[in-house]
Homo-oligomer: A and B are copies of this chain.
Amino acid sequence: MTLVECEDEILIIDCGLAFPENEMLGIDLIIPNFEYLRKNKEKIRGVVLTHGHEDHIGALPYFLKEFSVPVYGTRLTVGLVENKLKEFNLKRYSMTTVKPGDVITLGSFKVEFIRTNHSIGDAVALAITTPAGVLVHTGDFKVDYTPIHGDMIDLQRFADLGRRRVLALMSDSTNAERKGYTMSERSVGKTFTEMFPHAPGRILVATFASNVDRVQQIIDAAAKYERKVVIVGRSMVNVVNTAIELGYLEVPEGLIIDIGDVRDYADEELVIITTGSQGEPMAALSRMASGEHRNIEIKQGDTVIFSSKPVPGNEKTVSKVINDLMSRGAEVTYEDAHVSGHASQEELKLIYSLVKPKYFIPVHGEFRHLKSHADLITDLGHDGRNSFILHNGNILELDSYSGKITGEIDVEPVLVDGLGVGDVGNIVLRDRKHLSEDGLMVVVMTLKHQTGQLVAGPDIVSRGFVYVRESENLMDGCRNVVIKTFERCKEQRVNDWSSIKNEIRDNLRDHLWREIKRSPMILPIIMEVR
């Protein structure tokens, strides 16, 4: 989420979610911190969306629960957002569909939508005219001279803008480390038409549900070789239906068949399009690989094509799925059936050179990508002092005379776990981490009111620590430590419960470390009876 603020007005660009890092145990997803917006609610003029990927629209339901401001996006983007809002049961909102070329006015901002290419249809860049100058935001983009659906990126319009005066360019840095050009989406279709005739049995293709153009090419290749198509995986089914409804996917009558009808066709008459290209354990392909899918069993003769590249961090899970598929006898192809949706260095140079902004702000990507992008632009002759590598939360102030990072707002990300939004924070996560590594030991004792005499316990219960049955000696030892500690407390007239609990915790911790070199979470609980 990016905010453009000028005088008393705020324009919001995108509202995406992130998926949790490994150490964010049990977290479902992460949304932006809306705190600054809450404090400046009356300034917000609207939200403009660049495209329909989760990292650009995924947090909108959470946002729209709190803020009633108008939202603008292209047709496919709006279609995907509305699907989402239905799931969240949100009904009151203002969503407007725009086309590339449209200009909308939001307060004193004018926003023009400019066609780009990306791995999802209907992606746009934004040219935002503000009282301080024109900002150009590329969104996620690549330059595809032969796109599958719709036209190529509107390079002329970028050139027009450059011919006038652009204050700042915010440009996609995801592939800024990659030399050369990103290949056209169409090149993948060629791979499919080369591969399909050689497959002796079923063909399974795994890709991102949101890559409608990829799905189109799989469907085209299937039609060409007279195979029926089965769509598998909840998100794949959802997106394909939305895309067909909105006309972003053209499917010959009768080509797509129901998964239940698979038995009516020979293996060599079938193409299965499925989710799970990232090895996600609950996705359809992973369940097929582990033999847990309800309808489809992998067998000798199957050809599985990964039309994707592992997102960093997923390499191992993807590899596991490949191993499992191969063990079941499938041929697995994981090369040449994918192209990126993001611009490589030559395309980045092109956009910069067309737009010729005064200030350059690399966006989207890790620090290394932003840095690489900034260095690339410096090599084009851009004054390095007019490039800004921003961290989340940085406030950059720009006018035609100067640009400067002037401060920072709190953007501590908000964690979503089940229905809870923001109720899991660092302490809870720290406890989860501790529990995950060493497990837990609960020590319960009941004391008599006033006398403090021990009337029940100590009982010790552990989870995630050791096999209790094989560790009776260890548990007996622990019980002794607790009893001795308690007796010593009584002798020394330590009577307040929290001191007793601390003593028990410390002594048990020392004992366990000596005995077994582990540090489970120790949770002493004292009850009182009259």
Contact = CB atoms under 8 A, between A and B. Distances in A.
Interface of A: 21-22, 25-26, 312-313, 315-316, 319, 322-323, 326-327, 332, 366-368, 371, 417-420, 423-425, 427-429, 431-440, 442, 444, 446, 455-457, 459, 461, 463-467, 470-471, 515-518, 521, 523, 525, 527-530
7 contacts: A419-B517, A420-B516, A423-B467, A427-B467, A429-B464, A455-B530, A529-B529
B437 A26 contact: yes
B446 A439 contact: no
Contact of A529 (B434, B446, B516): B446
A463 B521 CA distance: 10
Contacts of A529: 446, 455-456, 529
A528 B456 CA distance: 6
Contact of A420 (B435, B518, B527): B518
Contact of A366 (B313, B319, B423): B319
B517 A442 contact: no
A66 to B, nearest CB: 18
Contacts of A371: 326
Contacts of A530: 455
A367 B326 contact: yes
Classify the secondary structure of A's interface with B.
mixed
A385 to B, nearest CB: 16
Given A459-B525, A467-B423, A527-B457, A332 B368 contact: yes
Contacts of A455: 529-530
Contacts of A459: 525, 527
Contact of A463 (B312, B435, B457): B435
A163 B435 CA distance: 59
A467 B431 CA distance: 11
Contacts of A446: 446, 456, 527, 529
A505 B62 CA distance: 32
A435 B424 CA distance: 14
A313 B312 contact: no
B440 A435 contact: yes
Contacts of A367: 323, 326-327
Contacts of A523: 442, 461, 463
A197 B437 CA distance: 45
B437 A432 contact: yes
Contacts of A21: 316
A428 B326 contact: no
Contact of A464 (B319, B323, B432): B432
Contacts of A463: 431, 435, 440, 521, 523
Given A420-B516, A517-B419, A467 B425 contact: yes
A423 B368 contact: no
What are the 3 closest A-B residue pairs judged by CB atoms, nearest first?
Answer: A436-B436, A418-B517, A26-B437
Nearest to A470: B423
